[in-house]
Amino acid sequence: MNELAMSLMSNSAFAPPKNILQAIPERIAHEKPGLAPHSIYDEVWHMDFWQRITLDWVQGRATAYPASALEGFPPNADEPWATVCKRFLAGTRSAAAVACDTDGLDRVVACPRIGSPDRTMSVRDQLESLAAHNAYHLGRVVLLRQLLGTWPPPDGGDTW
């Protein structure tokens, strides 16, 4: 597994996503401690939303860029936490599999934008962007878990 794939689903620069999301009860997933603008549920739903768009783009499916940032967060919390979590983690495995196909990483794909010319990126650039995006939001999840007293997870995570 290359470093790009590891940054998407494994132990690269931080704990693996599966560890970061491990053993979070439904109730805790929906809490917003203090002035936090989003819950763990919101953060993971958001990562999954963008991950699915990225996977569409790298697989050649023309998926429109959202018209508003609000589309990237859940309109409600009707979907069970376990379902959101499983779908996100399955997406990390799919993204890592694409990253392991090193022959396809330089292929250019369309990343449609509403109201502006379509952007193109290599598959590698798109996956690197996804890895950075996920790392940012997974860091927020870790902070939320720390604030909620549920860090570290049973299978471990950095505690410094």
Structurally, the chain folds into a number of domains equal to: 1
Predicted TM-score (pTM) above 0.85: yes
Which is nearest to 21 in space by CA: 121, 106, 116, 137? Answer: 137
Specify the CATH number for the domain of residue 85. 1.20.120.450
Q: Are 64 and 114 in contact (CB under 8 A)?
A: yes
What is the spatial distance between Cα 119 and Cα 102, in angstroms, rounded to a whole number? Answer: 22
Residue 105 resides in a domain: yes
Residue 153 resides in a domain: no
Residue 127 resides in a domain: yes
* Domain with 141 in it: 3-147
Residue 156 resides in a domain: no
Residue 136 resides in a domain: yes
Condensed to tens digits (0 to 9), the pLDDT of residues 81-97 reads: 999 999 999 999 999 99
Condensed to tens digits (0 to 9), the pLDDT of residues 115-159 reads: 677 789 999 999 999 999 999 999 999 999 999 999 999 987 776
Residue 157 resides in a domain: no
